[in-house]
Amino acid sequence: MLRDVMGKTFRLLGYTIQYGCIAHCAFEYLGGIVVCSGPSMEPTIQNSDIVFSENLSRHFYCIQKGDIVIAKSPNDPKSNICKRVIGLEGDKVCISSPSDFRKSHSYNILLGGQSKAWAQSKDLVCLQLLWRQEHSLTWKVYKENSQIWPLNDFGFLRASPNGHRFLDD
C-alpha cells in the first residue's frame, strides 16, 4: 500500500519536472505572456494589458524599426520596459524638435514611448546596450501578435501613430 503511494508520488514528481522543464524552455526560447503597466505606450498598449510576445526575433537578430520590444531597463536590471523601436544603428532620430537631428552610434538603438510625452523619457531614448538586454519581442502589427486582455480589445498591435518620426534612409 505504501509502495503504491510512493510510486504514484514519484511518477507525479517526474511528470511535474518534465513539464516544468518544457515550459521553462518554451518561455525562454519561444515566447510568453507579459503584463504591461504604465501609460507610456498609449494608445497602443493600455495600462495592465496582457500581451503575447516571442523570443525568436531576438535570437535571430531580426528586429526591425517599428517593432515593439521588451527590454531590461538599463538602470534597473530586474525590471523590464516595453517600448517601440524607432531607430537602428546608423539611423538619425529626431528627439527634441524637428530641426535638431542626432546621429545614433553603432548598435545604439533609440527607443521612444509612444505617447506625446515621450520627450520626458529621454534617458531611455539611447539604450546603448539594447541587443542583449532584450528579454523578448512582440511581433509587428502584421505578424501574429495579439493582445489578450481586455477581451473587448482583442487584436493585433497597431502601427505607430508617430510614424512620421521615422526617417527612411
Partner 1 sequence: MGVGGGHWSPKNPEQKIIKRVIALEGDIIKTIGYKNKYVKVPHGHIWVEGDHHGHSFDSNAFGPVSLGLLHARATHILWPPRRWQKLQPMLPPERTPLHSDQE
Binding residues for partner 1, rule: CB under 8 A, are: 61, 71-77, 106-107, 128-129, 131-133
Please say whether the beta carbons of 86 and 110 come within 8 A: yes
Kindly tell me which of 45 and 130 has the beta carbon lying closer to partner 1.
Answer: 130
Among residues 65, 72, 83, 140, which one is catalytic?
83
Residue 115: alpha-carbon gap to chain centroid? 16
Asked if 104 is an active-site residue, the reply is no
Tell me which DSSP letter residue 73 carries.
Answer: -
Asked if 40 is an active-site residue, the reply is yes
Kindly tell me which of 36 and 109 has the beta carbon lying closer to partner 1.
Answer: 109
Kindly tell me which of 77 and 98 has the beta carbon lying closer to partner 1.
Answer: 77
The C-alpha cell 535571430 sits at 60
Amino acid found at 107 = Y
User: CA dist 136 to 8, 55, 73, 99, 153, Å?
Assistant: 38, 5, 13, 34, 22
Residue 36 C-beta: closest distance to partner 1, Å: 18
Residue 155 C-beta: closest distance to partner 1, Å: 31
Catalytic residues: 40, 83
